[in-house]
Amino acid sequence: MRKTLRLGVMGGTFDPIHFGHLVAADEALVQFNLDRVVFMPTGQPVRKTHRHVSSAEDRYLMTVIATASNPDFEVSRMEIDRPGDTYTVDTMTALRAQYGAGAELFFITGADAVREILTWKDADRFIGLCTFIAATRPGYDTGLSAASAVALPPAVEYMEVPALAISSSDIRERVRTRRPVRYLLPEAVASYIDKNGLYGEPGADI
Ligand code: ATP
Ligand code: MG
């Protein structure tokens, strides 16, 4: 009998991708015995309209550059090539249709984002499609004992990752104010940001 493919999906704006994302994906790969992790840059972000988001192509390319050296990581254009607003549930439905019963899907996300997912379009359907892997930092309170626990999706697995304090918004602010970003993200991504003048415009929203 053919082995079931264990496929991790790491969705994100990746504006820019950083070591927090990469560490979380790698940790999920190992802890949950995944065959590979697909990074899925979002197309038109529906929840981040308050700020300028870099072009899908820039975000896609930074994600490719950052993951290029890892044979277990790949990048999908599925969301960025889909016209209109992107919903992760549609992506997971498409992956489910593509792989059928031959794959188990894992959606890798930050622990805080898991709660937010419940407010997303078709949350119930989303929850039925995959197992959630939620990255927490050491000592993070998952709130499972709190009243909110009843509202959490049943299939959430928590995993500790060490690099959780890194965020794209902090990196964008650092670039804008010319503070160092070295050691927060791959050097080649920092070079791409520099070469293409991302996040640099004076007065730009972060
Ligand atoms: P922003 O600061 O703009 O919100 P971000 O750093 O959170 O950006 P996203 O592209 O929004 O990056 O995140 C994609 C996914 O990665 C989300 O599920 C998020 O929870 C998770 N994530 C973000 N930063 C980290 C990190 N440092 N460690 C682990 N997971 C992370
Ligand atoms: Mg975020």
Question: Is the CB of residue 169 less than 8 Å from the CB of residue 48?
Answer: no
21-35, 59-73, 188-202: lowest mean pLDDT where? 188-202
- Choose one of 10, 21, 173, 189 to mutate for the ligand 1 pocket test, by most ligand atoms within 8 angstroms of C-beta: 21
Residue 19 banded pLDDT, cuts 50, 70, 90 = very high
Residue among 201, 173, 192 at smallest CA distance from 59: 192
Question: Based on C-alpha coordinates, what's the Rg of the chain?
Answer: 17
19: exposed, middle or buried (Cβ count in 10 Å: 0-12, 13-18, 19+): middle
Residue 18 banded pLDDT, cuts 50, 70, 90 = very high
Separation of CA 89 and ligand 1 centre (Å) = 18
165: exposed, middle or buried (Cβ count in 10 Å: 0-12, 13-18, 19+): exposed
Please name which ligand lies nearest the alpha carbon of 166. 1
Distance of CA 4 to the CA centre of its chain: 23
Question: Is the CB of residue 49 less than 8 Å from the CB of residue 29?
Answer: no
**Within 13 Å and on the Cβ side, how many CA atoms surround 117?**
29
Please name which ligand lies nearest the alpha carbon of 62. 1
Ligand 1, CB within 6 Å, residue ranges: 12-14, 20-21, 24, 109-110, 113, 135, 161, 163-164, 166-169
Looking at residue 95, its amino acid is L
d(CA 138, CA 158): 11
Residue ID of nearest Cα to ligand 1 atom 13: 12
Average pLDDT over residues 79-98: 88
d(CA 131, CA 158): 11
Residue 133 banded pLDDT, cuts 50, 70, 90 = very high
d(CA 194, CA 2): 46
pLDDT of residue 107: 95
d(CA 94, CA 78): 9
Helix, strand, or coil (residue 141) = coil
- 161's enclosing H/E stretch is none
